[in-house]
Amino acid sequence: MTAMTACEYVPGLENVPAAESSISFVDGQQGRLEYRGIPIEELAKKSTFIETAYLLIWGQLPTSEQLTAFKTEIRYHRRIKYRIRDMMKCFPETGHPMDSLQTSAAALGLFYSRRTLNDSQYIFEAVVRLLAKIPTMVAAFSLMRQGNDSIQPNDDLDYATNFLYMLTERVPDPIAARLFDVCLILHAEHTMNASTFSAMVTSSTMTDPYAVIASAVGTLAGPLHGGANEEVIEMLDTIGSVENVPAYVDDCMAKKKRIMGFGHRVYKVKDPRATILQNLAEKLFDQMGHDSRYDIALELEKVVEERLGHKGIYANVDFYSGLVYRKMGIPTDLFTPIFAIARVAGWLAHWREQINENRIFRPTQIYQGAHNQPYIPIQERSS
């Protein structure tokens, strides 16, 4: 393999290695995803989100004592400063929760940033605070925009159960809480995606971790990244019925319009996370009642596979996650913030990896403009 020359240009940096990492692995041809070498199917079946976050960030599964201490610290730091709550109350009710989250995450740096990135205690405290407080901020804005006070965290509840409780002040069904926890595991990390790359570029400047997470949240908010799961629900509602699916797919293909929840830059088979989420959806519907959108989704996946499977276009993680969240009563515009709650673990893992062997990102470009142009006085310029 020859070295890449300065004149080569790859749009979107597709397949251009930007780092070496031991955090996660994807095989897009075989549909494999591993966190620190452990298959995602194993973690979804046997682990919890907090244990998985520990694995991603610190590089190994925790002992019983380590996990208990980690969970205790996270529970203790779930609350947010009243000044952050007051700031959030001033946000417009019509604002998107991702914009609220990005602003609130950045604001944490005003209270906790010291930029002492050579201090292991500071790094640990930053990890704990971000994992603990991001869910609280998401839930708080969800209630505040309705004119309600936020709900304080319940220290008797685990991570996933507490978040669902803060949204409704009702302790959720244990099965729903467990399924939600698995959803967080599935979204926690996925190699060099756009938001992770954004986090790494920001990390490479040696700024504080709160700015790193805020930059990643801003990147995740785009519809081509985390925002796709919101659009899947809108698409299913637009289709309306199983009978309308073939015509919808044909229309999208004729107009070269993207079908939301399908296709992936890496996977050329069905996303393994989509398979797990589909099974979760079925369990949830058995427990809480059927959703007609699921029938539409099944037919849509079948038709898309028939029409576009030969191009490597299959269901991705966004396709079924929205159905699961919607059945839990979670508002559609909170789907992407929930993605962020989970992905904080992966972003922090890459932050730690980046600062341990840091080199600031400074890619080049290919200039295509003119040279030696004259300066034209303003009175001589034409519109």
Q: What is the pLDDT of residues 188-240, one digit of tens each?
A: 999 999 999 999 999 999 999 999 999 999 999 988 788 778 889 999 999 99
Q: Place 121 in a pLDDT band, splitting at 50, 70 and 90.
A: very high
Domain residue limits, the chain: 43-222+334-356, 228-327
Q: What is the pLDDT of residue 73?
A: 98
Class of domain 43-222+334-356: mainly alpha
Q: Place 80 in a pLDDT band, splitting at 50, 70 and 90.
A: very high
Q: What is the pLDDT of residue 347?
A: 98
Q: What is the pLDDT of residue 2?
A: 47
Could you tell me the sign of the dihedral formed by the alpha carbons of 198, 50, 31, 327, in that order?
negative
Is residue 318 part of the annotated active site? The answer reads: yes
| Structure confidence by residue, pLDDT tens digits, 342-368 | 999 999 999 999 999 999 999 989 999
| Region at 47 (left for phi over 0; alpha for psi -120 to 50; beta for the rest) | beta
Is residue 187 part of the annotated active site? The answer reads: no
CATH of domain 228-327: 1.10.230.10
Which residue from 74, 54, 380 is spatially nearest to 185, judged by alpha carbons? 54
Active-site residue identified among 318, 333, 350, 371: 318
User: Does residue 262 register a pLDDT over 70?
Assistant: yes
User: Does residue 5 register a pLDDT over 60?
Assistant: no
Domain 43-222+334-356 matches domain 228-327 at the CATH topology level: no
Active-site residue identified among 181, 264, 271, 350: 264
Q: How far apart are CA 33 and CA 196, in angstroms?
A: 16
| Structure confidence by residue, pLDDT tens digits, 27-67 | 989 999 999 999 999 999 999 999 999 999 999 999 999 99
